[in-house]
Chains A and B, each alone.
Chain A
Amino acid sequence: MAKEKLEIGAISKPRFEFRTFGRSFEDSAYLMSRLSVPVPEKVWERTSMETYIISRTNDVNNTKIRDGKMDIKTFVQEIDGLEQWNPLMKGEFPMKAEILEKEVFPAFMVEMPKLDKDEYTIEEFMEIVKNHPDLQAISVEKERFGYMINDTICEYANVWINGAMVVTINSESTELDDIKKTIVDLGLQGVENINYLQAAKRITGMIDKKLAN
């Protein structure tokens, strides 16, 4: 079967991902810039401000809010150290209480707060998060530089988590072998795969574990 040709920004079948976080991946970032094929100008450099909602009780659902839109991804499987995440739900604020009750809070895997309104604005939702002992809102600002190597979508990014900076580097594709080759080409063999959820939890002290460097 011919493998699916990935296009940056296009919807594909669920991808596997290698991502890691640390203080510096300078050498790998240089290799990434040299090995990449030309990519569309729109992904050369992108910035965004997002809010991640992290839950003490789960590491399998990743919830982020950007421009008033919520996006939850769920962990599907790990093969050879590469993680596959699928979209679980997408929603927009104001959000119906029913969606919060049936989709959002179950994804957090925390005790359900009492919802006495039909609909919630983002501010009202953030207030619920603030008052929940097992949830935490994290400010995540990203400056992302896009590349493509071995048909995998790659990125090097500066990320500010609650104002403190880390760097992240990743390769994602539907094809495991292409990611593995990219990891080798970028000199990242043996480096731990750390997803956004893990990085946010480690930096905020929810998990007592170090980043990759």
Chain B
Amino acid sequence: MTPAILPRYEFRIFGNNLSNYEEKIRQFSEKEITREMDSIYILTPYKKKSNIKIRQGVMDIKHLEHEHECLQQWNPFLVGSFPLAADVIKSVVFPALGIVCPVFERKKYTLKQFVEEVISIDPDITVAYVWKTRHAYTVNGCITEIAEIKVNGASLKTICIEAEDPKKVIAAKELIGISKKTENVNYPLAMKRIMGLTELPENWNNVNF
């Protein structure tokens, strides 16, 4: 495994109406780029410190290294491109999922084989197909993102602020007007809530009718 990038501190929120924060972000920064991408998140109810996803045929795993105040520092590792060796799936992917590894019938798995023959049939694994439209901004020197996402076809928005320096992230969060009480929700946790793999907190995206 090769370290991909320097780990950054991150603060992320999900919601149905984040327009107040979006307006603030746009006051501080021009939109720099919009990117569209799809990802496959592999989830289990168990491990809370792993973020396992496949994008453009490449699997990466982020591990939650450190929590500083309200921020999370994720350390990414590139597992590799498909076809992936069964040994790598066994020694890297399943330990990160926190479940028992099945017996593999192949030495290598294409993405299709991995989805159909390994993860789809495992009762402990749930798959989230996530389509993202990500808009990049910079606030207080932090990479700041507003994204529209679709999780298995259902829509949601997310905002993320990240930087190597946690102080910068906290300051950017304040500039945007996100209160200290607002929960930091990472991607796997949001996916698990939508997929019903973990309990929903009282205030999770309630629609204020």
Contact = CB atoms under 8 A, between A and B. Distances in A.
A162 B200 contact: yes
Interface in B155-182: 155-156
Interface residues on A, range: 20 to 34
B200 A139 contact: yes
Interface residues of B, number: 25
Contacts, number: 79
Given A22-B153, A210-B153, A204 B195 contact: yes
A78 B178 CA distance: 50
B113 to A, nearest CB: 15
Contacts of B155: 23, 164-166
A143 B83 CA distance: 45
A203 B129 CA distance: 9
B150 interface: yes
Interface in A154-189: 160-166
A47 B209 contact: yes
A206 B127 CA distance: 9
B196 A143 contact: no
Contact of B196 (A166, A204, A208, A211): A204
B108 interface: no
Given A162-B193, A165-B16, A205-B195, A143 B207 contact: yes
Interface of B: 14, 16, 43, 120, 126-128, 150-156, 193-196, 199-200, 204-207, 209
Q: What are the 10 closest A-B residue pairs judged by CB atoms, nearest first?
A: A163-B205, A164-B154, A211-B153, A47-B209, A205-B126, A136-B196, A165-B155, A162-B194, A141-B207, A203-B152
